[in-house]
């Protein structure tokens, strides 16, 4: 031990799945967060939260991260099932148009964090255009058929950020 502090610690990453699972495709982000938590393990710098339809209660976990990855249903006017990835200056512009039922709460949280100087260093939004927001516990076929690709895109970002998620296998929990 040198006593010299680590100047480049690994970034703390929060993967935040948003959505109401009672409204069909609207719950895609929450479902993806649950799948990540169930099927993968991460090092200590990655946290996965099912944010559901939460608002300001997300202030603390977001304030503590360096990189925020949001997964949500987004209405962009594109074809249902279209995948969207936004970063940098596209994120604030994303919130200027009403594209997600959660955007008011999340945009308020991010605005508050910007005012307090706790805004994450990087924000990435992974979205998918919903086909239906009607009451229902299942994703539509269109969105369900693309959820593996949405998951792969999130995993790709985690790897780009230096974190290799490990998939649980039937035998991995026995060790």
Binding residues for Ni(2+) are: 26, 72, 102
Q: Which residues are annotated as a binding site?
A: 26, 72, 102
3-state SS string for the chain: CCCCCCCCCCCCEEEEEECCCCEHHHHHHHHHHHHHHHHEECCCCEEEEEEECCCHHHHHHHHCCCEEEEEEECCCCCCCCCEEEEECCHHHHHHHCCCCCCHHHHHHHHHHHHHCCCCCCEEEEEEECCCCCCCECCCCHHHHCCHHHHHHHHHHHHHHCCCCCEECCCCHHHC
CA dist., res. 34 & res. 19, Å (int):
12
Copy the structure tokens of residue 13: 């990453």
């Amino acid at each position: 031990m040198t006593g010299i502090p680590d100047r480049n610690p690994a970034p703390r990453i929060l993967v935040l799945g948003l959505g109401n699972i009672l409204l069909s495709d609207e719950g895609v982000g929450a479902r993806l967060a649950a799948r990540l938590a169930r099927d993968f393990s991460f090092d200590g710098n990655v946290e996965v939260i099912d944010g559901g339809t939460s608002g300001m209660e997300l202030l603390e976990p977001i304030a503590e991260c360096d990189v925020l990855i949001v997964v949500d249903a987004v209405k962009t006017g594109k074809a249902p099932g279209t995948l969207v990835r936004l970063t940098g200056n596209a994120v604030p512009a994303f919130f200027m148009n009403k594209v997600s039922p959660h955007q008011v709460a999340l945009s308020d949280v991010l605005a508050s964090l910007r005012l307090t100087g706790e805004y994450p260093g990087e924000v990435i939004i992974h979205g998918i255009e919903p086909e239906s927001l009607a009451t229902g516990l299942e994703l539509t076929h269109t969105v369900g058929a693309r959820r593996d690709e949405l998951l792969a895109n999130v995993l790709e970002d985690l790897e780009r950020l230096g974190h290799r998620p490990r998939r649980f296998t039937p035998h991995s929990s026995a060790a």
